[in-house]
Amino acid sequence: MSEEKKKIVRTPISSYRDGRFTEIEDFVVREAPVTVHLNGKEFVTLVCSPVELKELAVGFLYSEGVLRQRESLKSIVINEEEGLIWVETAGEPAPRETLLKRFVTSTSTSGRFRASFYSAKNTEGIPRIDSGLQVATREIFHLADQLEKLSGVFKITGGTHSAALCRHDSVVYFYEDIGRHNAVDKMFGRCFLDGVTFDDKFLVFSGRISSEILIKVAKMGMPMIVSRSAPTELAISMAEHLNITVVGFVRDGRLSVYAHRERIVD
Amino acid sequence: MSEEKKKIVRTPISSYRDGRFTEIEDFVVREAPVTVHLNGKEFVTLVCSPVELKELAVGFLYSEGVLRQRESLKSIVINEEEGLIWVETAGEPAPRETLLKRFVTSTSTSGRFRASFYSAKNTEGIPRIDSGLQVATREIFHLADQLEKLSGVFKITGGTHSAALCRHDSVVYFYEDIGRHNAVDKMFGRCFLDGVTFDDKFLVFSGRISSEILIKVAKMGMPMIVSRSAPTELAISMAEHLNITVVGFVRDGRLSVYAHRERIVD
């Protein structure tokens, strides 16, 4: 069975249209918890589209900063049926701390905390992106169309988000998941496994660009994120600071650039 | 300033349309972290639309099972500007444990874990909903329209999710937030503060119906959830089990009922 088919299940529903109910079968998206064990210990449970688990586990650990180099990954064992993953790393893994947690700890020793420091503090330690990437508007429109065309599970169920790693006008990797963070993590996981570098590539994404998504992109050293949807003010200010291009609302031949337009050529 | 205006900020953007860029000002949604302190200790940081913080803190603690009765809430102090909240409860608060965490702990003592147990286990302790609620299809269509009309921040920024508590054909409470969980938590927080009961009311929601959202609804004892978007298979199976009606894809005079259609009358 293809990975796409495994994300979907047929279910009986009552469909109401033209003023009456009909009992039919329809497709809905699967959702299941998956537990990652790190060096023998239970580490995290993620609720996801329960396939591409290798990519998910590796991408999650990579995004969280637990896995940093390809050589650190000793082995990964997947039991897809039971939603279980065992990852072994060489040496001690970096302690798990989300960026948010790290930020909070570093600024609120007195229990006081200024939201306005979030942006600067939370991007601390992430280097400014240095990339000469240039992308044409027509490439962006083309890739936004590609993202839509490739989103097969969404078209059938309406229940997923999509993430595509792109270079010039091509999609290098594409992932769909019920969780927008999972879709991005699966993509990063694949890149980690394949040793892909990011400075000449960018993310085309179906979801809104929140600070958390922007931070993921920044940590990978990626110079640009494109979405059919909206960014938040905080994501924009972080992107401004980190030299990341933010493109939103790519629809019907229009788009908006919220930060670092110099990478977009006409 | 209205709560709605506080969720939005004006920002310079480069807008591309009709084949050329123009520098304009546009509106984007605000996003900021807010830290909740419980009985003097830092408890959680939520990234949210940084207003309606009383509702958010109370709703979050209520959803998580930390706050259970109105009498337990001794005081709540908000510093909106700095994104800080201090909640004092009477007696010891219930320990914080997400349902997911609780489930994982209760089933994986040996490090083994069966995803297929998730549904049954994770809804353990949540009583089946006992409610004679009946809602007409025309009321559902009306409320879906109302949700859209009320979503003022979304209309301006495209960056929020909306949650409405409804009774018959009326919206009782309405909240918008950048996070779909926050929107629901704010609504529950308001209900907790006002002593609202749920057995004759239902949630009309802009987002997808995942297991996490379904569990929130179930814990409040609410008999129905309606969305313009898709449910997941796991949410449907939980709803089936807990006697909750799930209505999705309410659009253009059509809708789909995924569980417990007996509450929908024509």
**What are the tens digits of pLDDT across the range A75-91?**
999 999 999 999 999 97
Using a CB-CB cut-off of 8 Å, the residues of chain A touching B108 are: 35, 42
**CATH number of the domain within which B242 lies:** 3.40.140.10
The answer to whether the Cα torsion of A116, A117, A120, A125 is positive or negative is negative
Interface contact flag, B230 A158, Cβ < 8 Å: yes
**What pLDDT, on the 0 to 100 scale, is given for residue B91?**
76
Chain A nearest-CA residue for B261:
A14
Its domain, for residue A64, covers: 32-89
Q: Does B234 touch chain A (CB under 8 A)?
A: yes
**What pLDDT, on the 0 to 100 scale, is given for residue A1?**
74
Q: Is A234 helix (H, G, I), strand (E, B) or coil?
A: helix
Instruction: Report yes or no on A114 lying in a domain.
Output: no
* A5, containing H or E segment: helix A3-6
Placement of tokens 């993921």 in the chain: A216
Interface contact flag, A28 B108, Cβ < 8 Å: no
Distance in angstroms (rounded) separating the CA atoms of residues A74 and A70: 9
Placement of tokens 């939980």 in the chain: B238
| Helix spans in A11-98 (H) | 53-63
Instruction: Report yes or no on B115 lying in a domain.
Output: no
Using a CB-CB cut-off of 8 Å, the residues of chain A touching B229 are: 158-159
Indicate if A84 and A141 belong to the same structural domain.
Answer: no
Q: Percentage of residues in chain B with pLDDT exceeding 90?
A: 82
**CATH number of the domain within which A84 lies:** 3.10.20.10
**What pLDDT, on the 0 to 100 scale, is given for residue B20?**
96
Q: What is the pTM of this model?
A: 0.90
Distance in angstroms (rounded) separating the CA atoms of residues A244 and A223: 5
pLDDT tens digits, one per residue of B181-190:
999 999 999 9
Instruction: Report yes or no on B110 lying in a domain.
Output: no
Indicate if A242 and A149 belong to the same structural domain.
Answer: yes
Say what the ipTM of the complex is: 0.88
Instruction: Report yes or no on B242 lying in a domain.
Output: yes
Using a CB-CB cut-off of 8 Å, the residues of chain A touching B17 are: 253-254
B161's CB contacts (< 8 A; 6+ apart) are B154, B176, B177, B178, B179, B180, B183, B205, B206, B207
Strands A20-29 and A8-17: antiparallel
Instruction: Report yes or no on B176 lying in a domain.
Output: yes
Distance in angstroms (rounded) separating the CA atoms of residues A266 and A243: 20
Q: How far is A159 from chain B (nearest CA, A)?
A: 5
Q: Is A225 helix (H, G, I), strand (E, B) or coil?
A: strand
pLDDT tens digits, one per residue of B70-106:
999 999 999 999 999 999 999 766 655 443 443 333 3
**What pLDDT, on the 0 to 100 scale, is given for residue A52?**
97
Mean pLDDT for the stretch of residues A235-256: 97
Indicate if B162 and B85 belong to the same structural domain.
Answer: no
Indicate if B40 and B150 belong to the same structural domain.
Answer: no
**What pLDDT, on the 0 to 100 scale, is given for residue A266?**
82
Indicate if B146 and B47 belong to the same structural domain.
Answer: no
Instruction: Report yes or no on B11 lying in a domain.
Output: no
What residues of chain A, 95 to 124, have a C-beta less than 8 Å from chain B?
100-101, 103-104, 108, 111-116, 118
Q: How far is B232 from chain A (nearest CA, A)?
A: 5
Indicate if A189 and A68 belong to the same structural domain.
Answer: no
The answer to whether the beta carbons of residues A143 and A137 sit under 8 Å apart is no
The closest CB to that of A256, out of B13, B42, B258, belongs to: B13
Q: How far is A195 from chain B (nearest CA, A)?
A: 31
Instruction: Report yes or no on A14 lying in a domain.
Output: no
Indicate if B81 and B152 belong to the same structural domain.
Answer: no
Mean pLDDT computed over every residue of chain A: 89
Query: Of B56, B71, B89, which residue constitutes the final position of a domain?
Result: B89
Using a CB-CB cut-off of 8 Å, the residues of chain B touching A235 are: 31
Indicate if A139 and A199 belong to the same structural domain.
Answer: yes
Indicate if A183 and A261 belong to the same structural domain.
Answer: yes
Instruction: Please count the other Cβ atoms lying within 10 Å of the Cβ belonging to residue B141.
Output: 19
Query: Of A71, A89, A107, which residue constitutes the final position of a domain?
Result: A89
Instruction: Report yes or no on A24 lying in a domain.
Output: no
Of the candidates B252, B244, B251, B247, the one whose C-alpha atom is nearest the C-alpha of residue B136 is B247
Is pLDDT of A206 > 90? yes
Indicate if B144 and B222 belong to the same structural domain.
Answer: yes
Mean pLDDT for the stretch of residues A137-149: 98
Interface contact flag, A20 B266, Cβ < 8 Å: yes
**What pLDDT, on the 0 to 100 scale, is given for residue A93?**
63
pLDDT tens digits, one per residue of B227-255:
999 999 999 999 999 999 999 999 999 99
pLDDT tens digits, one per residue of B135-175:
999 999 999 999 999 999 999 999 999 999 999 999 999 99
Indicate if B159 and B244 belong to the same structural domain.
Answer: yes
The closest CB to that of B30, out of A37, A100, A233, belongs to: A233
Indicate if A227 and A162 belong to the same structural domain.
Answer: yes
pLDDT tens digits, one per residue of A246-266:
999 999 999 999 999 999 998
Query: Of B68, B89, B110, which residue constitutes the final position of a domain?
Result: B89
Q: How far is B193 from chain A (nearest CA, A)?
A: 26
Our count of domains for chain A comes to 2
Is pLDDT of A132 > 70? yes
